[in-house]
Amino acid sequence: MAAARALPLTATLLTGTVALYITLVAFGNITDFGTNQQFVQHVLAMDTTFKDDDLMWRAVESKGLQDAAYIAIIAWETIAALVLILGTFQWLRHDHLRARRTSTLGLLMLMLLFGAGFLAIGGEWFAMWQSEDWNGLDAAMRVFLLSGVVLVVIHLPVDAARGAGGSSGAGG
């Protein structure tokens, strides 16, 4: 019985933790626009990579395109933060089915941004792994893994925590 109550509480706290984290990231990127703008510019320009002629054609040197990419990242982070804040409140209201759906959406948004965006596109396509100065792969992996772990936790069956045959009351 206690485990059945602990799972929604855990989901609430973990979703809230990720919501807080990405809210602070988005807030920091908005209020200190220039710091990570430089990061995005250097990654896209590939100006601190090994300068391999076979890769350099991928570089995006247009400041307009670099800024558009950065603004898109901030917008995505902000929307994900709002979705996860909503999910946290749904967990708090014990609307577990909606909370699970909403939290899943927000967590998948982060996994796409940090997995597909930073690890795959930034890390491989723009060879961010080659840069000693502008390499965000470790930070991206941390967010990707944190989001994945929370996603798994929120999808654990509450029925399993109650025992066989028990009703979860958690909406799934």
Structure confidence by residue, pLDDT tens digits, 97-155: 999 999 999 999 999 999 999 999 999 999 999 999 999 999 999 999 999 999 999 99
Cα–Cα dist 30/34, whole Å? 9
Q: Report pLDDT for 159.
A: 65
Cα–Cα dist 134/44, whole Å? 10
Cα–Cα dist 81/79, whole Å? 5
Count of all residues that appear for the chain in the document: 172
Sign of the Cα torsion 141, 111, 34, 46 reads positive
Structure confidence by residue, pLDDT tens digits, 48-107: 999 999 999 999 999 999 999 999 999 999 999 999 999 999 999 999 999 999 999 999
Structure confidence by residue, pLDDT tens digits, 2-55: 777 899 999 999 999 999 999 999 999 999 999 999 999 999 999 999 999 999
Residue 51 near residue 85 (C-beta atoms within 8 A): no
Residue 2 near residue 164 (C-beta atoms within 8 A): no
